[in-house]
Amino acid sequence: MKRVATSAMVTLFLGALLSAQGPTQFHPGFNLFSKQQDVQLGLENAAEVRKQMVVIKDPVLTEYVNRVGKRLVSAREAQESGFPFTFEVVADPSINAFALPGGPMFINTGLLKAVDTEGQLAGVMGHEMSHVILRHGTNQASKSKLIELPAVLGSQVAGGSMMGQLAQLGIGLGANSVLLKFSRSAESQADLMGSHLMAESGYDPMEMARFFEKLNAQGGGRTLQFLSDHPNPDNREKAIEQEARKLPSQNYSYQTGEFQRMKQVVAKIKEPKPKAQPQQQ
Ligand SMILES: [Zn+2]
């Protein structure tokens, strides 16, 4: 009996030791929305984004971001989330991308023009997907409208519009939206989970760190849009590097082979002047 207990303890101890060395585990925080409500909110806001921005229908660009995106979606944490990710390119010169709750992602032409490698793009996309998986947008909305939200969410009927009611609470896509502008701790989580998605897809997580370094070094004006929505956590690059060392797969050889073609096509796209941000009601 005593021996069984000892061996059980050794197993527990070894398990704890192994998990301590494995990748960091993250789980979504407090949330008043159901996952289905994340999806609905994202779909309604995505329809609005398509009205306000110019979606690029070019088949080369569309297929390219979908190939990279689907590769990332095949990673375990994305699969387990069950969210229906979609990927679209929008004509906007700012170096940015954003993902709405439940999975719709929009990638600016400015970002496609700015990345030096496919891995850098996969880094930004993996980071955005992680915000969706960890439900950071609706987590922030839940914390900011703790009192008002339960009645609104509880009165939702299938097929009814959620966006209009939430806009009345100030939860929309306007400037400094709680759905799209995150805290530094949410940023750290998205970086580290993003590194998992990248590694499992065959992309070197350090490419994400390199791209953030590049943005930091550039600074100034609209290039900083990404850093404005996604404030830099401390020691960003170092944290990604440390996490990458804990990952089991170190085979970073995947490429779609279409990066140069994408670059040629996107170079010819002229972006309209950025439109005003949608007004919050
Ligand atoms: Zn972020």
Q: Please report the pLDDT score of residue 169 as a whole number.
A: 84
Distance CA 191, CA 77 (A): 14
Distance from Cα 131 to the centre of ligand 1, integer Å: 7
pLDDT in tens, 32-51: 999 999 999 999 999 999 99
130 CB burial (10 A radius; 0-12, 13-18, 19+)? buried
In sequence order, what DSSP letters do the residues of 225-278 get, joined into one string?
Answer: HHHHHSPPPTTHHHHHHHHHHT-S--------S-HHHHHHHHHTPPPPPPPPPP
State the distance from the centre of ligand 1 to the C-alpha of 67, rounded, in angstroms.
21
pLDDT attached to residue 280: 39
What Rg value do the Cα atoms of the chain yield, rounded?
A: 20
Expressed in angstroms and rounded, the spacing between residue 1 Cα and the centre of ligand 1 is 51
* 218 alpha carbon – ligand 1 mean position (Å): 18
For the segment 189-242, what is each residue's pLDDT rounded down to a tens digit?
Answer: 999 999 999 999 999 999 999 999 888 887 655 556 788 788 888 788 999 999
Distance 97 CA to ligand 1 centre (A): 10
Helical (H) or strand (E) element with 194: helix 184-201
The residues, any chain, with a CB within 8 Å of residue 121's CB and separated by 6 or more, are: 65, 68, 107, 111, 112, 115
Taking only the tens place, the pLDDT of each residue in 227-236 is 878 888 878 8
Per-residue CA distances from 71 to 24, 79, 105, 122 (Å):
21, 11, 14, 9
Task: Tell me, in angstroms, the distance from the centre of ligand 1 to residue 193's CA.
Answer: 11
Give me ligand 1 centre to Cα 6, in Å.
45
Other beta carbons within 10 angstroms of residue 54's beta carbon come to 15
Q: Is 60 exceeded by the pLDDT of residue 278?
A: no
**Rounded distance from Cα 228 to ligand 1 centre (Å):** 10
Interval between CA 122 and ligand 1 midpoint (Å): 13
CA of 11 to the centre of ligand 1 (A): 38
Rounded distance from Cα 83 to ligand 1 centre (Å): 18
Please give the distance, rounded to the nearest whole angstrom, from the Cα atom of residue 223 to the centre of ligand 1: 15
What is the CA(157)–ligand 1 centre distance, in A?
Answer: 31
Distance 274 CA to ligand 1 centre (A): 21
